[in-house]
Amino acid sequence: MNKPNNPILIGKVGKSYGILGWIKIFSFTENKENIFDYLPWYFYKQENWIKIYVKKWKQYKNNFIVQIKGTTDRSKAMQLTDSDIIISKSQLPLLKKNEYYWYDLINYDVFNISGKYLGKVIDLIRTKNNDILIIKNESNKKNILIPFIDKTIIKKVNINKKIITVQ
């Protein structure tokens, strides 16, 4: 099968590297090296899916360079630039009770501790100090940014009702 079930974005392909078909990749996984725990990958570019097998990889500056099986020259590697790196949700480890992945929080409703509706989670941003929820508020058309600091600002994440309560 050349298309993942329940696709999840875990990285992005950068420019080609050298003349032997290596490419730069950017990992979106929490621990950057964990991207290699989820092989094979699917590349998605211009509405096309390609199943990818990694032959070799190396750390390169703050990211990685990868040699793809069957890609042996720079021109073939250049065709992969800007592809999304996708996996099937089933490739992720199973979670324990009351655990969740960041992508699971998208579309959760957010309320403050007084019960006032703030909006829906539309994205998360990773920062050096803490992650940030981006909440879309329909009534005032502005996005609200809330630091994801568990127990201090994020009071409760209800997985069953898809609700986040914040201070």
pTM of the prediction? 0.74
The C-alpha atoms of residue 141 and residue 73 are separated, in whole angstroms, by: 48
The C-alpha atoms of residue 12 and residue 2 are separated, in whole angstroms, by: 18
Residues 6+ apart with CB under 8 A from 32: 62, 63, 64
- CA atoms 23, 29, 35, 38: torsion sign: negative
Whether the Cβ atoms of residue 9 and residue 86 lie closer than 8 Å to each other: yes
The C-alpha atoms of residue 118 and residue 101 are separated, in whole angstroms, by: 21
- DSSP helix, strand, coil percent of the chain (3-state; round to 5): 10, 50, 40
Residue 1 confidence class, pLDDT cut points 50, 70, 90: low
Query: Does pLDDT of 141 surpass 90?
Result: no
Kindly report which listed range (12-26, 55-69, 131-145) carries the lowest average pLDDT score.
131-145
- Decide: helix, strand or coil at residue 24: strand
Smallest CA-to-CA distance from 10 within 27, 32, 24 is with 27
Strands annotated E in the chain: 7-17, 22-27, 41-45, 48-52, 54-60, 63-68, 84-88, 109-112, 117-125, 131-136, 143-148, 154-158, 163-166
Per-residue confidence (pLDDT) for residue 59, from 0 to 100: 94
Q: Please report, rounded to a whole number, the percentage of residues in the chain having pLDDT higher than 70.
A: 99
Stretch 41-59: mean pLDDT, rounded?
Answer: 92
Residue 14 confidence class, pLDDT cut points 50, 70, 90: very high
Per-residue confidence (pLDDT) for residue 84, from 0 to 100: 94
Q: pLDDT digit string (tens) for 65-120?
A: 999 999 999 999 999 999 999 999 889 888 888 788 888 899 999 999 999 999 99
The domains located in the chain, with CATH, are 7-91 (2.40.30.60), 102-166 (2.30.30.240)
